[in-house]
Structure 1
Amino acid sequence: MIKKRSAIALSLIIAFTMLLAACSGGTGSNEQAGANGKKGDKQTINFIHWRGEDTEAFKSIIAKFEKQNPDIKVDMTVYSSGDPYANALQAMILSGEGADVFVSAPGAQFNNLLKSQSFEDLSGSPLLENFTPELIEAGKSDGKQYALPYQLVYNVPVYNKSLFDKLGIQVPSDWDGFLAMCQKLKENGITPILYGYDVSPGQLINTLVMNNMPDKDTFTKFQTGEVKATDPWFVKTLEQFKLLVDKGYILKNATGTKYEGALALFAQEKGAILAAGSYAMATIAKQNPNIEQGLLAPITTSAADMKYEGIHTTTFMLGVNAKSKYKEGATKFIEFLTKPEIASEYANATGQLLTVKNVKYETKELGIQGQWSSKKTVFQPRLINTNKKIETALNESLNMIVSGTSVEKTISTTQAEIDRNLTK
């Protein structure tokens, strides 16, 4: 009986000790007390983004950061791009929890976060010296630097150079040449353009409009009513795209094909052109290392009337949550990402060009993308539009055409949606 009572007493002592330990905050969220300056405590900063394909690269970089900064732990959370990410980010920002370092896209998403005062002002921070100044303009507002674009992307369709060489096809320099190229591909049993309904519209619309729109700021005027979907240049753009659809140059069942499926078809060499951008090249190379890739933008005018050869975007814009309790640690993590040796590791592991100075690019795909730095490109038109609903309506006009809707109906539907969402 005495032994039994002793065992019970010992059990109660152990349980009570464990309860005290739990209440003392030895693990979990109270590890973050380091932000209050207590020596020896560890703070945890949350890093959220949308690039799941970069997870392993970031894990390696985070391990290096934590080794150099033993008082800081980085928790990374990845969401699907688009609305899932935007919705999760907005909830975290509003709550003030779960997003110390986050990324945003330029345009509407950046503008909405700016309005809600989500960004810590990074103006004057020494880490700005690590960037090429003209490549981080998209993260500025009223002369202040709120976000730091990390990636330089060319939103230009990817093409199978090996296939082109085999068929003796040259990259076309005008609209007639583009149509002739598509016809030759089709005659050889190859789908000219692979298209994923969830990503391709927002990518392809840029190259389709770049030489048709009156000036590089045209898309901002959709939201004020100064420019309409009924304007001749936009009608022409949709008519040209409709021609591609009607001639069978766009993937059949495109409205039922997601981007990942279209990319897989391209990697399997079941199509000649993927309506995406340079960001896709590294993933394609992983799926099929034997493909020789290039970037090819449809020129919708004559060669003489061409203004731009392609589209560029500075995106994956790093920011510090203005409501974060751990701004110092968050800023330190961003600064670590911009060190040339770390940025080089990230670039070569993920196949992304960066806005950071002194990055050493080593992969074949990055070498191809780097050649576009000497070409005449314009910043992605749809992203200078800061009204998300109007941006979506313009993108969806391509999906309507793909689904068989007439140009006239598409124009009227698109303009009606724009009218409902005009910026007051």
Structure 2
Amino acid sequence: MKRGLLVLLVVILAFSAFAKTKIVINSNASDPAPREAFKHVVDMFQEKYPDYEVVVNTFPHEDFKTLLRTWLNSKEAPDVVTWFAGERMRYFAEKGLLLPLDDIFSDKPFEAYFPASFKSASEYDGKIYFLPFTWYWWSVYYNTEVFKKYSLTPPVTWSQFLHVCEVLKENGVTPITIGTKYLWPTGGWFDYLDMRVNGYKFHMDLTAGKIPYTDARVKKVFEYWKQLVDNGYFLANHSSYTWQDAASFLFRGEAGMYLMGQFIKDVAPAEVKDKLDFFRFPIIDGNVGVYEETPIDGFMVPAKAKNPEGAKVFIKFLASKEVQDMYSKELGRLAANKYVTPPDAHAQKGLDLVLASDGVAQFYDRDTDPEMATFGMNKFVEFMTFPQRLDILLKQMEFQRRKIFK
């Protein structure tokens, strides 16, 4: 009997010696290219840290946004989650649902890895809660073959942009594709128009809830947007399409342009990638400055993570130049690590566009309160469908602003 117990104890101890510590990661990288690239990141980690077993659960982007709140409040929270910098991160940090990551930077400060400008988007109340991994630019992507066919050149001013739209429409090509089934692509239009009409400070004050949506300057933004809607320049029935669905119109040459982030190339067929180029969103009022959208994506550790120690080992691994260089090369992204050079000419052009700007914003749903963002983007889609309701929609948004920001 005693011999049997001794053998069992030896087996248990031997198993324990070889058992791996599990790190559970919930990821929103559901498109094929970023999903495969992240798999390579995990493979690199497990080769370097063989005592860990990394389990990656991948969810569709829109489902992830809904489920994240549930996970962060659950006793079964994952150890690491993908997410967005800025207000989207701070919303959860303020509620105590995230672990601070400052101890990761005990040997080297945050600024030793990342641009100092990234710190404000990664911290809350003086503590770091977000690990920047990649960032990218927004711009107007266009099909170069379509432009060549109709002798068009990338517009610089708003009047030139309207001219391009009209030429495309006259030739049976949808000037601007967009998919608003999941709302957020409209946020890019609002941000750019507001920053081009009213400037960066006004836009930041508006998204911070300090300016009424009924302000005449906000209405002016929609009046420019209305020119495009009234002229029929946007893809018909856009609320039926996801952003990927809408991109296919650009890829096939049935649409000429698409205001979108660099990640559009993730879903572009191989034979189309080289036919895509981009230009800066047109200038409306050069006196207010030129500002761009540059969202930062990365990782957080839930406060209820079962393996916070392992999670932080993984997070610190993600900060390294080696890892971010590999990932950025696979996807053509700009790495958050400041020592990683742009992976190709396309990314270098995007970086040059950002460096030549007067400042950057994150994105409407990352710069304002999440509840306000959802409500606002619903109204943006409604405006694109029923532009005659503009005054009513602005009053509804103002009512919501007062309710949320008090």
Q: TM-score band, normalised by the shorter chain?
A: 0.7 to 0.9
8 Å CA contact retained: 1:278, 1:295? no
The residue number in structure 2 matching 1:67 is 47
Residue 295, structure 1, aligned to residue 279, structure 2: yes
Matches within 5 A, 1:19-418: 39-53=17-31, 54-82=34-62, 84-124=63-103, 125=105, 126=107, 128=110, 129-197=112-180, 198=182, 199-213=184-198, 215-216=200-201, 218-221=203-206, 224=209, 226-284=210-268, 286=270, 288-299=272-283, 301-302=284-285, 304-313=286-295, 315-376=296-357, 377-380=359-362, 382-383=364-365, 385-406=367-388, 407-418=390-401
8 Å CA contact retained: 1:136, 1:148? no
How far is 1:249 from its partner? 0.8
CA distance in 2, matches of 1:158, 1:136: 29
Which residues of structure 2 form unaligned runs of 5+?
1-7
Q: Secondary structure at the match of 2:198?
A: coil
How far is 1:348 from its partner? 1.6
8 Å CA contact retained: 1:161, 1:291? yes
RMSD: 2.8
Q: Secondary structure at the match of 1:157?
A: strand
CA distance in 1, matches of 2:188, 2:13: 48
8 Å CA contact retained: 1:46, 1:99? yes
How far is 1:246 from its partner? 1.0
The residue number in structure 2 matching 1:15 is none
CA distance in 1, matches of 2:288, 2:339: 32
How far is 1:164 from its partner? 2.6
8 Å CA contact retained: 2:21, 2:52? yes
CA distance in 2, matches of 1:414, 1:69: 50
Q: What are the superposed Cα offsets for residues 316-340 of structure 1, whole Å, 9 maximum, x if unpaired? A: 2312223223222212212222322
CA distance in 2, matches of 1:287, 1:277: 20
Give aligned pairs, total: 389
How far is 1:79 from its partner? 1.8
How far is 1:206 from its partner? 1.4
Letter matched to residue 340 of structure 1? K
8 Å CA contact retained: 1:220, 1:385? no
8 Å CA contact retained: 1:216, 1:378? no
The change in CA–CA distance for 1:241 and 1:221 in structure 2 (over 3 A counts) is closer
Q: State the percentage of identical aligned residues.
A: 22
- When Rg is computed on C-alpha atoms for both structures, the one with the higher figure is 1
How far is 1:414 from its partner? 2.5
The change in CA–CA distance for 1:61 and 1:51 in structure 2 (over 3 A counts) is same
How far is 1:65 from its partner? 1.2
CA distance in 2, matches of 1:241, 1:262: 19
The change in CA–CA distance for 1:340 and 1:359 in structure 2 (over 3 A counts) is same
The change in CA–CA distance for 1:267 and 1:409 in structure 2 (over 3 A counts) is same
The change in CA–CA distance for 1:91 and 1:422 in structure 2 (over 3 A counts) is closer
CA distance in 1, matches of 2:203, 2:351: 28
